[in-house]
Amino acid sequence: MLSSRDASAAAVRRTARTRVEARLVDQGSTRMLLVTHVPDEPASSGVLICPSVFAESVHNYRREVLLAEALAERGIPVQRFHYRGCGQSGGRFEDISFASMCEDAARASTFLRECVPIERMAYMGTRVGALVTGSIAESAAPIALWHPTMTGRAFFREAARARRMTDLRMNKGDSPRGDIAGEIDQNGRADLLGYALGRDLFESLGEISLRTAMPAPRDVLLVTIGRRPDEFAKLAAEWRAVGSTIDEEFIPSQETWWFFDERGVRSESILQVTTDWMLSRLAGVTA
């Protein structure tokens, strides 16, 4: 049976103690998908989840849904969204920029506050979503990060590497594509494993670094999934030096962020760690 739809044209599904509302809202010249996980009980704090983009967003997608459900079941409303140009939102991949991603995240955050009268927000960023989270979160708001991308440049380096590997697998080793910047110059966009990268995002995200995007001091959960880059330890030390509280968790895994496989959905420990941390940070303000 088709679910009921409320006055604001949201599709709704229920879980034991929550409801999940999905709606398209106007954003700029197009629309974006917002998904709100609302507990039945009143709440005074909420969480915004900022996803990644391109192929690696699929990796964490289900985990993000399950995290939102777990938090909502424990009384914390959660807002999720698809950036314009991505997933089920309107627009085109090649038109997004780091600024548009931040605008979309801010809009989603505002929407949650309008839906649920909350006093405090916490944030969650996965991979490149960490850069967005760091840029829009209020000072001192707690932030959980799942294997954050350290810089936009590193993100594109990984993309280029994944593309070369795919080209070899697709028997195009004899005619490999040029670098990403050259392809954008030539075609106006680059093909990142079937995802369109435009100049705006390439140039704007390329300038962003987690080190500078996320002011300290604040409480941070840094979840490393799979191999632990040296930069994480350095960054954690720097943040601690300026008064942040950094909780680090290591989840052994064999993640390949740009490729899909069944290992990408082992979620239980990641969800447990993150849920417990969020509950501890938001304790006292949750009704």
Partner 1 sequence: MSSRSSALIYEERPVFFDAAGAQLFGMLTLPSRIAPGSPAVVMLPGGAWMPGSHRGSFFATMARRLAGLGVPTLRVDYHGVGESSGHVSHYNIRDLFVDDVVGATGVLRELGFEDVMLVATCFGARTALAAGSLSSVRAMALLAPPLLDYSVEEGLRESSVATHVRKGLRFSVLRGLANPRNRRAYAKVIRAKLDNLRQRGADSTVSRGFLRDLSAVAERDVPVLLAYGEDDEYYTDLVRARDGRLGRLIAQAAGRIEVATCPGRLHGFAWFPAQEFAIDTVCTWIGRIVEPVGVPNVDPVDAADHGLPTPPG
- Contact residues toward partner 1 (CB under 8 A) are 1-3, 9-15, 20, 22-26, 29-31, 33, 35, 55, 58, 61-62, 65, 85-88, 90-93, 166, 170-172, 191, 193-196, 260-262, 264-265
In angstroms, what is the minimal distance from the CB of 226 to partner 1? 17
Residue 193 CB, nearest approach to partner 1 (Å): 5
**Cβ neighbours of residue 147 closer than 8 Å, sequence gap 6 or more:** 126, 127, 223, 224, 225, 226, 255, 257
Please identify, using beta-carbon distances, which residue of 250 and 259 lies nearer to partner 1. 259
CB of 40 to partner 1, least distance (A): 16
Residue 39 or 142: the one with the smaller Cβ distance to partner 1 is 39
By DSSP bridging, strand 219-225 and strand 143-146 are: parallel
Q: Shortest approach of partner 1 to residue 152 CB, angstroms?
A: 20
**Spatial contact of 75 and 43, defined as CB atoms under 8 Å apart:** yes
Rounded to whole angstroms, the Cα distance separating 133 from 150 reads 13
Nearer to partner 1 by C-beta: 61 or 98?
A: 61
Given the complex with partner 1, which of 63 and 147 has the nearer CB atom? 63
Which residue's CB is nearer to partner 1, number 165 or number 236?
165
Task: Please name the amino acid found at residue 154.
Answer: A
Dihedral angle sign, alpha carbons of residues 203, 172, 226, 64: positive
Minimum Å gap between C-beta 190 and partner 1 is: 10
Asked if 68 contacts 145 with a C-beta cutoff of 8 angstroms, the reply is: no
Which residues, other chains included, contact 140 with Cβ-Cβ below 8 Å and sequence gap of 6+? 217, 218
| Distance in angstroms (rounded) separating the CA atoms of residues 258 and 266 | 16
Tell the smallest beta-carbon distance from residue 257 to partner 1 (Å).
Answer: 14
- Which residues on adjacent β-strands are paired with residue 191? 196
* Residue 194 exposed, middle or buried by CB count within 10 Å (0-12, 13-18, 19+): exposed
Nearer to partner 1, 186 or 280 (CB): 186
